[in-house]
Chains A and B, each alone.
Chain A
Amino acid sequence: MQTTIGIGYSELFDSFNAGKECALEAVKSLDGNPISIAIIFTTVRHDAELFQNGIKEIIGADTRLIGGYSVGIITNDHLGYDGYQAGIMCICSDSIHIDQIIEHNLSADEYDCGKRIARQIKNKTYEGDPFLFLCYDAVDRSSGRLKINMATPLCKALNEEIDCSVLPIFGAGLTGDMMFRPTKQWLNNEIFQNTAFGVLFSGAAKIDSVIMHGCEPASDYHTVTKTKGTLILEIDNIPALDFIQNLVGESLSFEDYGFFLTISMNKGKKYSKFDPEYFSNRMCVNVNKETKAIIMVEPDIVDGTEIIFMRRSVDFDYIKNSTTELIKKIKDQGKTPRFALYITCAGRAAHYYGSDIEDASILQKSLADIPLLGFYSGVEIARLNGKAEPLDWTGVLHIISE
Chain B
Amino acid sequence: MNISGFIEDKQLKKYTGVEPGEFYLLLNDLKEIYKDGGSSPDNDDLSELSQRLFMGLAYIKGLVPVKELMELFEISENEFNQEGKEAASLLTGLLTKPLSTKDYEKYEEIINYYQYRIDKLGGVAVAVDATISTVKSELRKKNNGLSLLNELQNSIDAQISIPEIFETTLKKLNVNLRMDVSAVLMPVKGSSSFHIEYQFGSTITLNTADKIVIENLTNKSDFVLINKQSEENDFSKFIKEKLGLPFFVAVPIFSHNSLLGILVSGRLKELKPFFPQLNDSDVDLLKSLAAFISVSCTNANLYSIADQLVQVRTDQVVQQKKEIELKNNELEILFKHVTDSIHYAKNIQEAILPPTNVLNALLPDSFVLYKPKDIVSGDFYWVDKKDDWVYFAAVDCTGHGVPGAFMSIVGYNLLKDILMDDAISTPAQIMDKMNIGVSSTFHRDKTVRNTKDGMDMTLCAINFQTMELQYASAFNPLYIIRNNELTKYKADKFPVGMDVAETKLFTNNLIKLQKGDTIYIASDGYADQFGGPKGKKFMVSNFRNLLLEISKNDIETQNDLLNQTIGNWKGSLEQVDDILVMGLRV
Contact = CB atoms under 8 A, between A and B. Distances in A.
Nearest to B144: A351
Interface in B82-133: 115, 118-127, 129-133
Interface in A343-402: 346-347, 350-356
Contact of B273 (A13, A219, A247, A353): A353
B320 interface: no
Contacts of A244: 123
B224 interface: no
A318 interface: no
Contacts of B127: 248-249, 251-252
Contacts of A203: none
A219 B123 contact: yes
Given A13-B171, A179-B275, A354 B136 contact: yes
Nearest to A261: B126
A145 to B, nearest CB: 14
A261 B132 CA distance: 14
Nearest to B270: A255
Nearest to B228: A255
A309 interface: yes
Given A13-B171, A220-B118, A311-B126, A354 B271 contact: no
A219 B122 contact: yes
B516 to A, nearest CB: 103
Interface string A18-53: 000000000000000000000000000000000000
Nearest to A181: B268
Interface in B250-290: 268-269, 271-275
A309 B122 contact: yes
A259 B126 contact: no
Contact of B133 (A82, A260, A261): A260
A258 B140 CA distance: 21
User: For the side of the interface on A, what is the size category?
Assistant: 35 or more
A190 interface: no
A354 B115 contact: no
A313 B126 CA distance: 10
A218 B175 CA distance: 35
Interface in A265-316: 309, 311-313
B137 interface: yes
A260 B275 contact: no
Contact of A354 (B123, B124, B134, B178): B134
Interface in B27-84: none
Interface in A206-247: 217-220, 244, 246-247
Contacts of A247: 119-120, 122-123, 126
B272 A258 contact: yes
B179 to A, nearest CB: 10
Given A179-B268, A247-B120, A252-B127, A354 B135 contact: yes
A219 B119 contact: yes
A83 interface: yes
A179 B178 CA distance: 12
Nearest to B277: A255
Contacts of A82: 178, 274
Nearest to A221: B115
Contacts of A258: 271-272
Contacts of B269: 179
Nearest to A80: B175
Contact of A83 (B115, B129, B130, B175): B175
A370 B320 CA distance: 68
Nearest to B141: A351
A166 interface: no
Nearest to B120: A247
Interface residues of B, number: 31
A246 B132 CA distance: 20
A80 B178 CA distance: 12
Contacts of B178: 82, 351
A260 B269 CA distance: 18
A351 B137 contact: yes
Given A311-B129, A312-B133, A356-B136, A256 B124 contact: no
A247 B116 CA distance: 9
Contacts of A313: 129
Contacts of A355: 136
A261 B124 CA distance: 12
A13 B273 CA distance: 24
Nearest to A309: B122
Contacts of A354: 132-137, 140, 273
Interface in A82-113: 82-84
Contact of A178 (B115, B137, B171, B274): B274
A178 B130 contact: no
Nearest to A11: B175
Nearest to B133: A354
Given A351-B137, A351-B178, A218 B125 contact: yes
A352 B274 CA distance: 6
A217 B118 CA distance: 10
A355 B140 CA distance: 9
A248 B123 contact: yes
A55 B576 CA distance: 83
Contacts of A83: 175
Contacts of A220: 115, 118-119
Contact of B129 (A260, A350, A351): A260
A81 to B, nearest CB: 9
Contacts of A260: 126, 129-130, 133
Given A258-B272, A352-B274, A353-B273, A312 B129 contact: yes
Interface in B162-186: 171, 175, 178
Contacts of A13: 171
B268 A249 contact: no
Interface string A110-137: 0000000000000000000000000000
A275 to B, nearest CB: 16
Contacts of B131: 251-252
B82 to A, nearest CB: 36
A269 to B, nearest CB: 13
B123 A84 contact: no
A219 B175 CA distance: 38
Interface in A68-84: 82-84
A50 to B, nearest CB: 14
A346 B272 CA distance: 13
A350 B137 CA distance: 9
A249 B272 contact: no
B319 to A, nearest CB: 43
Given A83-B175, A311-B129, A256 B123 contact: no
A98 B405 CA distance: 106
Interface centre among B126, B135, B269 (most CB of A within 10 A): B126
Contacts of B124: 248-249
A257 B211 CA distance: 41
A217 B120 CA distance: 13
Contacts of B121: 218
A350 B133 CA distance: 9
Contacts of A346: 274
Given A82-B178, A83-B175, A178 B271 contact: yes
Given A179-B271, A252-B131, 11 more contacts: A83-B175, A219-B123, A220-B119, A247-B119, A247-B122, A252-B130, A258-B271, A260-B126, A309-B122, A311-B125, A312-B129
23 contacts: A82-B178, A82-B274, A178-B274, A179-B269, A179-B271, A218-B125, A244-B123, A246-B123, A247-B122, A248-B124, A248-B127, A252-B130, A256-B130, A256-B272, A259-B272, A259-B273, A259-B274, A260-B126, A309-B126, A311-B125, A312-B129, A353-B133, A353-B273
Interface of A: 13, 82-84, 178-179, 217-220, 244, 246-249, 251-252, 255-256, 258-261, 309, 311-313, 346-347, 350-356
Interface of B: 115, 118-127, 129-137, 140, 171, 175, 178, 268-269, 271-275
Which 8 residue pairs of A and B lie closest in terms of their CB atoms, listed nearest first?
A: A354-B133, A218-B122, A247-B123, A178-B274, A354-B136, A248-B123, A219-B122, A252-B127
